[in-house]
Amino acid sequence: MVSDSVQTIALEQLAEGGHYLPGAWARNILIASGLLNYQEPIVFESNYKSSGRDHFIIRRNKKQEPDFILYPNPARDFITIESKWLGSVDSPALLLIYDTKGRQIGKCTLSEHSDHQLIPLQNLSTGTYFFQVVFDNKKTNLKKVVILNNK
């Protein structure tokens, strides 16, 4: 696989240099070429403290903002709105509909008892619209949907 000694030397330097992903890649090429015998080191629990993993930041407690998905897109007669927050909010959520100029042209109340709901589109002309949900007075990001009605 490795055709010349210059490439082999470069791969060996990468493999030994402590470069995490490039080193692993180079090591795998050398192993596949039969130029390196490698045994995976066994890491014991006591070694984890000094393994250099301290620089990773894991944010598990990040508060997730309410979000939703709409499908199909483009849509004709209806869209389905789906969100894990729909069935868990204290008060009904609102779906706001905006045109491309940012004017609110419609709204509807969403069911409190389901995580998805069908929204009829017969009152909307063919065009691009933006949908936004308001959960407990918190607005979600806008979602763009193309509607292909023959109104």
Q: How many domains does the chain divide into?
A: 2
pTM of the model: 0.55
Alpha carbon of 94 to those of 8, 22, 57, 131, 137: distances in Å?
Answer: 63, 50, 36, 10, 9
* 20 in the same domain as 73: no
Q: How many CB atoms are located within 10 Å of the residue 87 CB?
A: 14
Examine the domain organization and report whether 100 and 143 are in the same domain. yes
Task: State the greatest distance between any 2 C-alpha atoms of the chain, in Å, as a whole number.
Answer: 71
pLDDT tens across 20-55, in order?
778 788 878 877 777 777 666 666 665 555 554 444
Domain hosting 112: range is: 69-147
Query: Same domain for 120 and 74?
Result: yes
User: 43 with 52: CB under 8 angstroms?
Assistant: no
